Amino acid sequence: MLLQPIHLTGKNYLVKGLVHVDLSLLQDSSDLSESITIDILNQANVHVDTVNTRYLSDEIGKTGTAVFEYTLWSDLGEEFIIVPRHSR
């Protein structure tokens, strides 16, 4: 069996990031939800997408900070403004 190369071209890229919430800024621990909604804006401040975060609970006890992870797909060189929404 002769091995042949496979040629791949990336068209979109998975971008991952974290949102850190300082728990000392919350009045009550019930203010903390399991996810945060994030608006994605382009460089012209035009809304292009909305994503939800995933709560990373294992970080809370270590740092006094709640950590949420978000992911979105991007084209090469695309720039975004990430805007977390306040839950109230």
**Residues 6 or more apart in contact with residue 67 via CB below 8 angstroms:** 18, 19, 20, 21, 55, 56, 59, 60
pLDDT at 35: 82
Q: 40 or 33, which is more confident?
A: 40
Distance between CA atoms of 62 and 76, rounded to whole angstroms? Answer: 35
Query: Residue 45 pLDDT more than 70?
Result: yes
Q: What is the mean pLDDT of the chain?
A: 84
Distance between CA atoms of 14 and 53, rounded to whole angstroms? Answer: 14
Which residue, 27, 52, 26, is CA-closest to 37? 52
Distance between CA atoms of 55 and 64, rounded to whole angstroms? Answer: 14
